[in-house]
Structure 1
Amino acid sequence: MKLEEKIKQILDVKTIVEIEKKLDLKDRTLYVWLTTPTKRNSKVEIALLKLGIRDDERLIQRIEALKDEYKKNVTFKEAHERAITQIKALLEEIEAA
């Protein structure tokens, strides 16, 4: 079953315009997301996840990419905090001398 048909079935609507209204999306946002495989739109993705649609390949890839980005950012943050701590300790030693 196509993703659009699955959404229509879940929301019990007939057109994409009705879907967008029910999901509180701007005009043609969902249509563009559905018809453009490389398009990313967090509002559409969040709305689909709230509907319980988790088996779409694009959503799975997007979730994995977000998890990877989060891990990378946490690693950078930890490294940055360590560097700040080391610099602070060095400055304290310099001031004490």
Structure 2
Amino acid sequence: MRENDELDGPMTIRSFDHCIDQVVRFHFPNDRNFHYTHWNARCHTIEPLWVRASVLEFVQSFQSSMRGMILVSGIRETLAAGRRWTA
């Protein structure tokens, strides 16, 4: 999907989500019913105080399953835009 994007610009959300799906399939090739959710923090306005609540909201989306995974991307860019991540 990346070849459909402009190479000079940032990757589109659709291409990024497609890559996430490929990563999950690569790591869990024999488990077609593996539940996962992707939280792209770049697409949401979040406050540090509410990060835990946001994560729990995504986890509840696969609560009926015995196991699952949450993939978080873009949290550093969202919470510390233009600043260093470490002190």
> TM-score scaled to structure 2, two decimals?
0.28
Larger radius of gyration: 1
Greater percentage in helix = 1
Q: Pick 1 or 2: higher relative contact order, CA cutoff 8 A, min separation 6.
A: 2
Greater strand share, structure number? 2
- TM-score normalised to structure 1 length: 0.27
